[in-house]
Amino acid sequence: MLRSLYSAISGMRSKQTKLDVIANNVANVNTTGFKSSRVKFHDMLSQTIRSASAPVGGRAGTNPAQVGLGVAVGGIDTSHTQGALQATGRISDLAIQGSGFFMLADGPRALFTRDGAFSLSLARELVNSATGFRVQGWMADATGAISTTAPPTAMQIPLGESVITQATTRAEFSGNLNNSPPAGPPAYAHTNTITVFDSKGEAHQLRVTFTRTGPNAWSYTVASTATPPLTITPTAPATLSFDTSGVVTPATAQSGAFTVTVPGAANIALTLDFSSMSQVAGESTAVMRFQNGFAPGELLSFIIGRGGVITGTYSNGLVRDIGQVALAYFGNPEALLKEGGNFYAVSPNSGEPLIGVAATGGRGTIEVGMLEMSNVDLATEFTEMISTSRAFQANSRTVSTSDEMLQELIQLKR
């Protein structure tokens, strides 16, 4: 009878633990990125009343006689199945489609989460606004290149603060040079004025002069229009030639770099591209159609791609990568420790985080303007709640029945 009491009590305690887990699941049905848990039970040690015996002679063997001593909680697992994605329209809200985790830092400690409800802090850092933890990733260098081999750092998006320029390194020309210009002298020439930018974003006017030197043959020079003029090397004319169809020859389609010396700024290393030009009958219309330099501009807006790359758009029209959000992958995510606030921490059985970029190494892709909803299934939880309640009730009846039997035993002696 005492065994039945303790077995029933162990059942009540175990079912109470399961109800606690169910209640927590239901309470977090609207928690962003929440992963539900489940309870597993196992039977406790059994008391052996009679051992098993082997067959002897003409007698068969006997089975053991054992009485179980109740139930215990075998484990509480976290289900990391994918939650549904909900559109929010906020460009800083991110959701992971796959098995990765966002990496955030609380000072020196790294934490991990599926909750991508991020915003910009006063310092223009991408953070979890509820905790202030900084989202980790890799910042781009001055040229917009991102190195993902370096340790992740805080992500800064300096809207309205970052001023950026880009020196001109390439100018592309298109249009035509007249195949039948008026007879000289002087030699027929076509002049085009172009604007380039130095390393500080200052504009400089240069004059490119094309001079016909013979059939299908031209020379060109680059000169400064400033007073006093900037020094440009080389000073000797470069050559430009065309075939009999009026198509520029590959050998002369791109010039060697011209170096423009600018006081107080880095020299401009300028390459001219004439591969889109022609020489046919008609008016000379050669003109610069594109140059890759930019005047100073401030960061106006940003977008985040599915690979986690943050791309900024500046007021001068420049579009450049700012950084890339890091994702972590765990070999055993069910072993992560819940830290509260939708965060997980590394445990001895979870494995070390494999830090990398989205869409690689099983980390999944990043969906922008969305949040991952809780994966709690209310229908399942309510069903489990009913069965757990009935199991608790049945165990309590066992306690009542055992008590009645003890009372009858005590009353044998009156």
Q: What is the CATH number of the domain that holds 199?
A: 2.60.98.20
Q: Which two tokens stand for residue 233?
A: 């090397």
* Count of domains forming the chain: 3
On whether both 192 and 281 belong to a single domain, the answer is: yes
On whether both 120 and 180 belong to a single domain, the answer is: no
On whether both 176 and 247 belong to a single domain, the answer is: yes
Detail the DSSP E strand segments found in 215-308: 217-224, 231-233, 238-241, 258-261, 268-278, 287-291, 294-304
Neighbour-count burial of 56, counting CB atoms closer than 10 A to its CB (0-12 exposed, 13-18 middle, 19+ buried): exposed
Amino acid sitting at position 292: N
- Encode 327-361: b = buried (16+ Cβ within 10 Å), e = exposed: bbbbeebebbeeeeebbbebeeebeebebbbbbee
On whether both 209 and 286 belong to a single domain, the answer is: yes
| pLDDT score at 55 | 92
Write out the residue range of the structural domain in which residue 403 sits. Answer: 2-80+376-410
On whether both 174 and 245 belong to a single domain, the answer is: yes
Distance of CA 369 to the CA centre of its chain: 13
Residue matched to tokens 């229009």: 225
| pLDDT score at 1 | 58
Residue where a domain stops, chosen among 259, 292, 325:
292
On whether both 230 and 264 belong to a single domain, the answer is: yes
| pLDDT score at 414 | 65
Residue where a domain stops, chosen among 244, 262, 292:
292
Residue where a domain stops, chosen among 260, 292, 324:
292
Q: Residue 298 forms beta bridges with which residues?
A: 163
Nearest Cα to Cα of residue 287 among 173, 172, 169, 170: 173
On whether both 106 and 209 belong to a single domain, the answer is: no
Nearest Cα to Cα of residue 178 among 83, 89, 280: 280
On whether both 208 and 188 belong to a single domain, the answer is: yes
| pLDDT values of the chain reduced to their tens digit, one per residue, 414 residues | 578 889 999 999 999 999 999 999 999 999 999 999 999 999 998 889 999 999 998 899 999 999 989 999 999 999 999 999 999 999 999 999 999 999 999 888 999 999 999 999 999 999 998 999 999 999 999 888 999 999 999 999 999 887 889 999 999 999 999 998 887 788 899 999 999 999 999 999 999 999 999 999 999 999 999 999 999 999 989 999 999 999 999 999 987 789 999 999 999 999 999 999 999 999 999 999 999 999 999 999 999 999 999 999 999 999 999 999 999 999 999 999 999 999 999 999 999 999 999 999 999 999 999 999 999 999 999 999 999 999 999 999 999 998 888 888 888 876
On whether both 256 and 399 belong to a single domain, the answer is: no
On whether both 156 and 203 belong to a single domain, the answer is: no
Instruction: State the DSSP H helix or E strand holding residue 74, giving kind and residue range, or none if neither.
Output: strand 71-78
On whether both 97 and 157 belong to a single domain, the answer is: yes
On whether both 175 and 154 belong to a single domain, the answer is: no
| pLDDT score at 250 | 93
